[in-house]
Structures are given as structure tokens and as C-alpha cells.
Amino acid sequence: MSAFNAIGEEREIDRDEFTPGLEPQPTWCPGCGDFGVLKALKQALPEIGKTPDEVLTVTGIGCSGKLNSYLETYGFHTIHGRSLPVARAAKLANDGLEVIAAGGDGDGYGIGGNHFMHTARENHDITYIVFNNEVFGLTKGQTSPTSPKGHKSKTTPHGNAKSPIRPLSLALTSGATYIARTAAVNPNQAKEIIKEAIEHDGFAHIDFLTQCPTWNKDARQYVPYVDVQESDDYDFDVHDRQEAQEMMFETENALHEGTVLTGRYFVDERPSYQEQKKELGEMPEEPLAERYFDDDYEWERSYDLLERHK
């Protein structure tokens, strides 16, 4: 018998199951875009048939890191920038889990930038949502890796001399196999994108635009937005790397100029890291975590390896 009965359990799932019954109340400011991510996740998860017990959400530090405090799943609120290595190891140890990692733009593109690049390269089968509000929120409004050039804050009193990160292009060149941008102000699209990302076999990156009404008042609140899939002005093939690349570039430029383009940008069927590792014989077929509960499993002993040392 499985030690993880929640995994693969099939039943009707109520949206409210993902909402904590009593505490805690979100500490996000009124009007914060983070509510949009929370809402989209709560809507998406029951629709794809996931129960709270089979989902593990792994977050970093900052306002975004508190996502799993307000979402009823297994949660691991890690440390600044480190959600991805924790998330991908959890998936390796038990690939029956639905693993969703989340963090902010400072967390994900700054301090955790190296992990982002490598997790995308390896194409781990996890979903990664980056709350992008172009500012450090919880530390009170400093410039972030996605803050526009010229952005003034306490740490850049004369304006930001750096150009912002291009998260979509970065994900593409690093090797992510599902890349999208959505916005808290666009709940229907956000829900659909999150569903697709979770169902995608491979590293799915969502640059999720979340307005910060407290520390980024001057910034665009991401309205009006344009859904590139809905608009007749944009025609590109999400399976074509070249076309996707060009569209991402245009999207990232447009945001600097005040136009918000959202949608799916790239979808690729490259096998996930877990699949490839299994194929090479570098990862067991059955979840590693299950084995510790299997009384009949025969554990190899080092004694059997000693021949080469005699």
C-alpha cells in the first residue's frame, strides 16, 4: 500500500479546501497583486483535480513568500532566493507530488537568479510563479532587478542606472519549456495559464505581474493589458523558438514603455529532467520516498560493494 494516499486521489474537490479555515489573515496591503495569484491558484488547483494534500508549494522570502501561509496545501516557506533547489529536490524524492515554487522578482531574478537559470536548463517538472511587482516590497520599496531604468527609491535616490532583467527571454535562453506572462488584474487568463503550467511536463515559468500599491505607486498597475493570444495584432507560433523569442523581446520592451502584453509565449515538448534521469537509469521509476515505507524492499548493503577493496 502506498504511504502517500493523497497522491493521485480522485474525487470532487471544493475550491474552499484550499482556503485555511481560521488563521492567518493575509498581511498583504489592500489592493496588492499577490491576492490575484492566490485567487488564481485556488481556482486552478481544484479544476485540475489536485487535492491540498498532494500539492507542495515552496516559496522564498518576501510578500510573495507568504503565499503558502494563505493557501491550504503542504507548504515550505524557505529562504530568500532558495525556493527552486528545495522544490526540485522534493520533486526528485517524490515525483508523485505536484510541486509549485513561487517567489518575488528580487527573490527569483536577483538572489535566486542562478537557481532560476539552472532549474530551467535542467527542465525540472515543476511550476514556478514569479510575483513581479518591480520593487522590493517587504523591505519597504527598494529597487529590484525588474525595476525600470531611472526608478527612484531609497537605494537609488538619483534613479536606477541599470536596465531591468528580461525574465521571459532569460527563461527561454536558459531552457524553460513553458513560458508565460500574466497579471493579477487578469484573473481568468491567470487561472488558465496556471492550469496549463501545472499540467505541463517540464519547467513552467510564469512571470506574474503583481501591482504594488504601497511602494510602487508611480508604476503602471498593469492595466490596460493586452492578451497576445486574444489580439489580432499579434500572431506568432508558441512552439517556434525564434518567433517566441521575438515576441518576448517585444513584450519586454513594451512593458518598459508602458504597454502590458500578457499570454503564453513558448511551449516545448522537450522531456522533463525527471523523465531523462529515469531513462538514463539515474533515478528510480517508483518515488524514492515510497521505499522507506515498504517493508519488503531489499536494501543494498555496502558489504556487497566491498569486493573492489579487497
Partner 1 sequence: MSDDELIWRIAGGSGDGIDSTSQNFAKALMRSGLDVFTHRHYPSRIRGGHTYVEIRAAGHEVQSRGDGYNFLLALGDSFARNPKEEAYYGNEEIKPLSENLDELREGGIIVYDEGLLGEEDVAELDLEERAEENDWHVFPLDLRSLAKEHGREVMRNTAGVGATAALLEMDLAHIEDLMEDAMSGDVLEANLDILHEAHDTVAEEYDFEHDLRVPTGEHDDEQALLSGSNAIAYGALDAGCRFIAGYPMTPWTDVFTIMSQNLPEIGGISEQVEDEIAAAALAVGASHAGAKAMSGSSGGGFALMSEPLGLAEMTETPIVLLESMRAGPSTGMPTKPEQGDLEFTLYTSQGDSSRVVFAPGNVEEAYEQTRLAFHIAYEYQIPSIIIYDQKLSGENTNVDVSFFDREPAPDLGSTLTEEELAEAAHDASGKFHRFQHEPDGDNHVSPRSLPGQQGGRYLATGNEHTPAGHISEDPDNRVFQMERRIQKLESIREELDDEHESNQTYFGDETADFGIITWGSSQGVVVEAVERLNEQGHAVKGIGVSDMMPFPESEMVEFIESVDQAMVVEMNATAQFRGLIQKELGRYGDKLTSLLKYNGNPFEPAEIVEGYELNVNGSDEEPSAQVRIEPAAGD
> What is the distance, to the nearest Å, from the Cα of residue 218 to the centroid of all Cα atoms in its chain?
26
**Gap between the Cα atoms of 102 and 37, Å rounded:** 10
3-state secondary structure of 44: helix
Contact with partner 1 (CB under 8 A) among 10, 12, 14, 22: 22
User: Which residue from 19, 94, 23, 22 is spatially nearest to 52, judged by alpha carbons?
Assistant: 19
Span from 74-82, 163-171, 198-206, 236-244 in contact with partner 1 (CB under 8 A):
74-82
**Gap between the Cα atoms of 270 and 177, Å rounded:** 7
The smaller minimum CB distance to partner 1, of residues 5 and 253, is found at: 5
* 296 near partner 1, judged by CB under 8 A: no
**Gap between the Cα atoms of 294 and 76, Å rounded:** 26
* 58 near partner 1, judged by CB under 8 A: yes
Enumerate residues 86-145 that contact partner 1 by CB under 8 A: 86-94, 96-97, 114-115, 117-118
* 77 near partner 1, judged by CB under 8 A: yes
* 300 near partner 1, judged by CB under 8 A: yes
In the complex, least distance from residue 81 CB atom to partner 1, rounded to whole angstroms: 8
Q: Taking phi first (over 0 means left), then psi (-120 to 50 degrees means alpha), and beta for anything else, what does residue 166 get? A: beta
How wide is the angle at C-alpha 140 spanned by C-alphas 58 and 109, nearest 5°? Answer: 45
Residue 244 near residue 230, CB atoms below 8 Å? no
* 25 near partner 1, judged by CB under 8 A: no
In the complex, least distance from residue 15 CB atom to partner 1, rounded to whole angstroms: 15
* 49 near partner 1, judged by CB under 8 A: no
Q: What residues line the site for partner 1 (CB under 8 A)? A: 3-7, 9, 20-24, 52-54, 56, 58, 61, 66, 68-69, 72-79, 82, 84-94, 96-97, 114-115, 117-118, 277, 281-284, 288-289, 291-293, 297, 299-303, 305-306, 309-310
